Structure formats: C-alpha cells, structure tokens
Amino acid sequence: MSMSYLKNAGRRISDFMKRAIANRDGIAAVEFGYIAPVMLLMLVGSVEASRAISIDRRFSSITSMVGDLVSREQDMGVTSSENITKMTAIMNAVQHIMKPHPYDTLELEIIPVMGFGDGTDTKLYAPSYKYAGGSVTQSKARCAAYTLPTGLVAPGGSVIVVEAKYTYKPSSFATWIFGTSHDWEDKATHSPRHSCVDFEDNNCVVTC
C-alpha cells in the first residue's frame, strides 16, 4: 500500500469528519426533544393553576354568598323541614355558581350563634344545617357551644356563621404535578339584616 493512498484516505476521513461536525441538519429536532418535556410541564401547570384559581374564587364567593342570603331572611321557617326546604333552594343556586367545576366535595354548614349572658357565652340559638353530598340535613343541636372572637356579638345579639370545606381534585393529567387532592376551608360571619334570623318561630327568644 503506497504512501499516497494512505495520505488520500486520511485526507478523505478528515474532510468527512469536518463536514459531519459542521452539519446542523436535524439539530432543531434534537433540541426540541430536550425542551419538549419542560414545555409540556409548563403548559399543564399553567392550565391547572388557572383552573385551581377559578375554583378557589368560586368557593370563597359561595361561602360569603350563603351567609349573606341567610342573614337577609327574617324567618327561615317553623319546622326543620321548612328550614331544609329554604336551605336547599339556596344550595341549588350554589351548584349553578360552581358549574362547570365539580361540587360533589363541597360542604357548607350554616350556624346561627347568639351571645348569651354578657355576650361571651356564645351558643347556637337554633340547630345548624349542613349541605353535603348534594342534600341539606340538620347538624348541630340548639344550645351547642360555639366559640366566637371576643366582642363579635353583643349580649343577646346574633350572627350567622358559614363554615365551608372543599376537596380540590386536580385533573387526571395533572395529578403527577399537583398531587391527588387538597382540602380547602373557609369561613364567613354575617350580622342579620333584621334583629335576628328566626329558625323556629320563637322570635329568637331562647334559653340555654
């Protein structure tokens, strides 16, 4: 094998390597392969974050809205069944506000509280009512103790407290980012528009 042949072969190999190094064909596809997972993560995260913010705003507004609607009433009813009927009508409106987001994990409890004695002895002056699983039921009994911040109610005064819970479940494609579920809680306190919201047709005259 002659030296000229080896030199030519070496030159051809060198030229091939230079062309290969300088060749940029397909580099965009390779770069996209590197950044695609990051872009997908950002897209999924942005979509789910927007969904979570929307649900959270509706959840907060519902808590306040329910307390406001109940506190506007002067008489809720005479019997627990009448109270449940009125509460159910309010909760039907809540369901419409939550749509298109799921509301099957939403829980709301309407708690009427009065300040007895000097106002520091705060108890339920009527049974509370709880919305869960799409229906309203009677929950805490009248005269059950309920702690309020000092000075929130005057002696003989009352407030409507709404305690809300919601289990936020990310979309199935986002659970690997945000987890399977998160429990949210909220609370709203409203003063009755009239002197008191009557739940038992007793003009809120209660002895506990």
Nearest to 164 by CA among 46, 55, 18, 50: 55
28-67 pLDDT, tens digit per residue, is 666 667 777 778 788 888 888 898 999 999 999 999 999 9
* Residue 23 pLDDT class (50, 70, 90 cuts): low
103-156 pLDDT, tens digit per residue, is 899 999 999 999 998 888 999 999 999 999 889 999 999 999 999 998 888 898
**Taking the CB of residue 189, how many other CB atoms lie within 10 A of it?**
18
13-27, 36-50, 151-165: which range is least confident on average?
13-27
- Answer whether residue 12 shows pLDDT above 70: no
> In whole angstroms, what is the distance from residue 47 CA to residue 171 CA?
10
* pLDDT given for residue 129 in this prediction: 95
* pLDDT given for residue 1 in this prediction: 47
Burial class of residue 82 (count of CB atoms within 10 Å of its CB; 0-12, 13-18, 19+) = middle
